[in-house]
Structure 1
Amino acid sequence: MARSYAEVTELRARRPEVVAQALARRARRPLLGDDGRLMIVAADHPARGALAARGRADAMASRTELLDRLQAALARPGVDGLLATADVAEDLLLLGALEGKVVIASMNRGGLAGASFELDDRMTGYDVPGIVEAGFDGGKMLLRVALDDPGTAATLQACGRAVTELNRARRAALLEPFWSSRREGRVVNDLSPAAVVRSVHVAQGLGASSAHTWLKLPVVDQMERVMDATTLPTLLLGGDPVAAPEETYAAWSTALALPAVRGLVVGRALLFPPDDDVAAAVDTAVSLVR
């Protein structure tokens, strides 16, 4: 394993085969442990050109700082694993941070933040054969449905195909749906309960099987109503909260008490907390999940 970021680069330059070797040797675990809960740290926003967190436009611009924060988070007790693109996952793999961890691969990152084609969210990250070859536990897809943007049709088709392939490979298919629209040139997600319910129904109908399909949903008002729309196991997303941490944690805690909710997938909210104490933020989130 690499002992420094310079050594990670050296391995990538001179011995790229080490990545495949490390994947083959990596200690693995079941997706769910005995308590049936999951606490996943997310780090796939940079691949869409979305580097902001907590009001800092360039918060995730430094890869080494991001890796420092991810290693601190993954090392905390009760953290089950990572959601990331291949570049981040393989850096952490070479640093030894993924041993015994669940890994969910991020698949569609083609909808670059702010692009005219943002809602044509193509599969530019992991594909299903890559997930299987890596020995990872599943694939995650962002599914923004905008009725006024033709890119939605291509995204629906790509996600449906990936859900089918992941189910056939017996890997988790984690869908993150939103009902979206453009306002003044920006993509905006409708977080009203009715819109989230509608997005759930579209997402859970994708693919030739839903046996291994999970949902990743925002915490919104009337979460009981939202969760009544599905029987699929669900993880809550943290997003980039603007409220005080105490308010965010209280909302997570209430939603986590609902039967179908199995845990959290959180990135920026924990990696860039207001007081910059990553370990404390992660420990609080773990205490809510478990």
Structure 2
Amino acid sequence: MTAIPPLSAPGPISNDDFAALRQTRMADPDAVGRAFAGRTRRPVVRGDSRLMIIAADHPARGALGVGTDPMAMADRYDLLQRMATALSRPGVDGVLGTPDIIDDLALLGLLDDKIVVGSMNRGGLRGAAFEMDDRYTAYDVPAMTRDGLDFAKVLVRFDLDDPGTVATMEATARAVDAAAAAKLPIMLEPFLSRRVDGKIVNDLSADAVINSVAMAAGLGGSSAYSWMKLPVVDDMERVMASTTLPTLLLGGDPSGDPETVYASWKSALALPGVHGLTVGRTLLYPHDGDVVSAVDTATALVHG
């Protein structure tokens, strides 16, 4: 196992800040609501109409690993420090997370003038016997409207050999309906998936991604507020030709040469319909520990 390197520079959250966060969590739970009520909001789309979103909804589905380190994201204080560093960088538009992380960031005062994306998460925990039971277990649309969040996100996996997939499709359709009724943009992150030697594997061929896009885009009674969140795969031109929905690219678990990853993002960002990146582990846990450099490189690709 290769340990994830520490941050290359001190982050913006002090030990006193973390102590205050713990005290507030214990003694004043209503402070969470006050933090959201006092948050300065911004339009989802402005300026160049491109978005750079930092993602951190992995822990809530039991996915703490980065690369070969299975517990890289286990230290919540380290994760928050990395996120605070990323959110402090010019051109970072927002953050995606489950309520536990978003509430922490709100209490730390880090969400002003940022797009906040609520992850509805999935019940199918990594490695569980019920992994493909992707009912939604975190945010719902009423909770996001209560807190004034700006965007919703769902992950929807289609396993054509698993009869439970139809329940996931129905739950996603209802989530899309609720988001449209609330005029809340919602990212759909679709995959064609299957079990291989007992593990769930996403098919990242262009044909599979195109099929997953087609199935996800048709969920719900309106696509007015639907976006796509898609992996960067070979033949992205064909993938992007399969939808008119605005699309953000995801980063996935970092592997391989960073320069190759950045080059693939740059190429995909030039395609019609692509409006930015939603990336987590690749930027928060870079191979050299330099979150600032990794985030700035990705932001330059998005905003130019």
Tell me, yes or no, whether TM beats 0.5. Answer: yes
Aligned-pair RMSD on alpha carbons?
A: 1.1
The answer to whether the aligner puts 1:13 opposite 2:26 as a matched pair is: yes
Partners of 2:61 and 2:121 within 8 A in 1: no
Cross-structure match for 1:61: 74
Distance 2:291 2:46 in 1: 24
Q: Secondary structure at the match of 1:231?
A: coil
How far off is 1:223 after superposition? 0.2
The answer to whether the aligner puts 1:120 opposite 2:144 as a matched pair is: no
- Aligned partner of 1:129: which letter? P
Moved more, 38-47 or 148-157: 148-157
Cross-structure match for 1:92: 105
Cross-structure match for 2:51: 38
Distance 2:256 2:217 in 1: 30
Partners of 1:140 and 1:175 within 8 A in 2: yes
Cross-structure match for 1:223: 236
- Aligned partner of 1:155: which letter? T
Cross-structure match for 1:250: 263
Partners of 2:21 and 2:104 within 8 A in 1: yes
Superposed CA offset, 1:101-145 (max 9, x none): 000100032110011111111111001000101101121000110
Cross-structure match for 1:27: 40
Partners of 2:206 and 2:239 within 8 A in 1: yes
Cross-structure match for 1:144: 157
1:107-256 map, 5 Å: 107-256=120-269
Moved more, 39-48 or 112-121: 112-121
Following superposition, which runs of at least 4 residues in structure 1 exceed 3 angstroms of deviation?
Answer: none
Superposed CA offset, 1:137-176 (max 9, x none): 1210001100111221111111110001001101111000
Alignment size in residue pairs: 290
Q: Any stretches of 5+ residues in structure 2 without a counterpart?
A: 1-12
Partners of 1:45 and 1:51 within 8 A in 2: yes
Partners of 1:54 and 1:274 within 8 A in 2: no
Distance 1:76 1:152 in 2: 39
Distance 1:150 1:187 in 2: 15
Q: Any stretches of 5+ residues in structure 1 without a counterpart?
A: none
